[in-house]
A and B are shown apart, each in its own frame.
Chain A
Amino acid sequence: MALTIITAIVVIGSIVGFLARYHHKMDLEQWTVGGRGFGLVLVWLLMAGEIYTTYTFLGASGWAYSRGGPVLYILGYGPLMYVVSFYILPPLWDVGRKYKLQTQADFFQARYDSTWLGAFVALIGVVCLIPYLEIQLTGLGLIAEVASFGAIQRTPAMIIAFALVAAFVFVSGVRGVAWVSVIKDLLLVFAAIFVGIAIPHIYFGGIGDMFAALAREKPNHLTMPGATQNLGHAWYVTTVLLAGVGFYMWPHFFAASFTARSGKVLRRNAVIMPLYGLTVPLMLFVGFTAVLVLPNLSNGDLSLLTMVRKTFPAWFLGIIGGAGALTAMVTAAIQLLSGATLYAKNLFRPVLSPGMSDEQVAKVAKIMVLVLSTGAVILAIYSSLSLVSLWLLGSAGVAQFFPGVVLGLFSRRVTTAGVFAGMAAGISVVLFLMLTHRDPFYGWNAGLIALCVNFLTTATVSLLTLKQVDRLEATIRAFAAAPAGDEAGLS
């Protein structure tokens, strides 16, 4: 029963995805940035669709269950990343339209006048997207497993769902993704509100009573460091800062800002988006309820689905599972789309075959969609990290783009060598601290430490290579003169 409903929701979602290409000629510009014609509603749906992902749906309740207090960082950074986006996305959009930028690496290539820097950014971007893709896949696998009471193995479920995702990315590009977002957002908001209120009510008589019981029985679970040893206040501040500034550095969110019709749309979006985060606390209620009701789960990420299965009839589990599956697929689709475009346009073409036309780039990108999805399936089968941990890993990596983007937009004195050195230093620190299991490092988020090293290196090397600024003078001046956005020049 549950599985039938999940399948039905997934099929309907995919049909909408396929139909979205109708009336639009799919060239590279349309496929990647929707022809730069999305208004407030569609951009909002696209961004919300990408932001409220499997990581929020299953991962947040999972951390509420397994870690307790530290999960508050998700509530903390949510509004702050929109605050940051308010200042950087509109100018980015201006530059994007002026230079016809489609990807994040395009930006670096244009601003710093270096194909190699663009290729480097593309490489890091694609690598960081892989754990994020893996989150969606793992989520799909968990949903299939719980909804079928273990009858369906995770692996075949992941493979089938991912073949479907790759297919609709292949056919309809970013427009398909935006329209599937509409369906899944409606389902997800409904699911969050209903489940978040109903589950504490059924077991404890209300949200307040649930928290009162939890505070009585596990007094330390609700504050930091909760059930962990080392995720205290210093970790909270550094992680919220890293996630807040780093969020729009994810290649797919960065590129999503180019789909807007104007910079004004992005600014308005930044103002209203935090309200969409009001559903996140509801997901956490479910995780906290599960602490007392299901004390012995092997995997915290299962807490929301298991609570739903235990509490409601099978058809309802089907709706929740369908919402979750569609969410995972939409997110995975947009990640595949940006990863593939980045690879084809900024890594493959400039390094291996400079003479390629846009049509050929689009072809390589589509092949890359298949390669990336296969790679992520393989990794998801063998990985055992929790959903939130995977996300933190990728975030620390992409946050290293921040100095290059912000200084590139607002400073005239930053140089190509500076940005390259800073990014290399930042990435090395991330790799070292994470691979040697030193995150958090003395209570600090490793990614933020890397970001500080990155900023310092960028500034120092830029000052040492200031002569280059004269050579780049023309580019920098052109960037500074990018029109102040909005409807200007559309005529």
Chain B
Amino acid sequence: MKRPSLGAMLCGLVPFAASCFSVSLWDRVYPMVLGLPFNFFWLTLWLAITPLCMWGAYRLEEPRSGKRRREQGGSL
């Protein structure tokens, strides 16, 4: 099985870095943003940003699999 491209992997690492590994940087109540404690705001923000990162990964990955598809010409 062909592995995903490096670029697509990096797109996926961004949300991990932002909403998992960096917890001690953003786990605080203040400053409150839009009425939400900061940690709450941060994670909710990343619910919305993650699809953007993965859309990037999709753009990188889909042409590759489309190419492989054509090369194999539907042989099954």
Interface residues, chain A, CB within 8 Å of chain B?
Answer: 69, 72, 75-80, 82-84, 86-87, 90-91, 94-95, 98, 206-209, 211-212, 215, 219, 222-224, 233, 236-237, 240-241, 244, 263-264, 267-268, 270-272, 274-275, 277-278, 280-281, 284, 409-410, 479-480, 482-491
Contacts and interface: CB of A to CB of B under 8 A. Distances in A.
Main secondary structure of the interface of A (DSSP, over half): helix
Contacts of A91: 1-2
B6 interface: no
A275 B27 contact: no
Interface in B21-59: 21, 23-24, 27-30, 32, 34-37, 39-40, 43-44, 46-48, 50-51, 53-55, 57-58
Main secondary structure of the interface of B (DSSP, over half): helix
A237 B15 contact: no
Q: Which 7 A-B pairs have the closest CB atoms?
A: A208-B35, A489-B76, A484-B68, A79-B50, A75-B43, A271-B54, A488-B74
A237 B23 contact: yes
A87 to B, nearest CB: 5
Q: Which of B24, B46, B61, B69 has the most CB of A within 10 A?
A: B69
Contact of A233 (B3, B23, B54, B61): B23
Given A233-B24, A267-B61, A211 B32 contact: yes
Contacts of B24: 233
A244 B44 contact: no
Contacts of A275: 47-48, 51
Interface residues of B, number: 48
B20 A267 contact: no
B58 A208 contact: no
B47 A277 contact: yes
A280 B55 CA distance: 22
A223 B44 contact: no
Contact of A236 (B23, B32, B57): B23
Given A208-B35, A237-B23, A482 B47 contact: no
B21 A207 contact: no
A215 B68 CA distance: 54
A480 B1 contact: yes
